[in-house]
Structure 1
Amino acid sequence: MEHLLGASWGYQLIGYFAFSSYFGVAEDFQEFVDACHAANIGVLVDWVPGHFCRNADALSYYDGT
């Protein structure tokens, strides 16, 4: 998922629905997933909800409205 700071190791996410541009474009990831599925291999996308960014892009300020 997209994150601003490479030094965060991907923990401080800003784009929960965006593939990380550090690793290429979304189409390449989709091809990878399709190839895995064709080989009967499942793909899990992991994220850590305890490390929200603390800037204007963050969900740490989200109040639910």
Structure 2
Amino acid sequence: MSSPNDHEPPSILSSCILISLNNRFVVFSTLSVPDSSFLSSEFYCCCVLHCYYTISLNPSFA
């Protein structure tokens, strides 16, 4: 029996996406967190919403 964490390191890696419209590229910053609570944090949600609206409001970016 394999556990869900067999394919990833002990500390969960989460990514925050930063978008630069001027240069049109995406930078992934990796953060090491003790648990998955970061995935549901307000900060993470803001990152996702920021990326979503940035791309949806700027079709030329995608």
TM-score (norm 2): 0.32
In our comparison, the structure showing a higher alpha carbon Rg is 2
Report the structure, 1 or 2, having the larger helix content: 2
Report the structure, 1 or 2, having the larger strand content: 2
TM-score (norm 1): 0.31
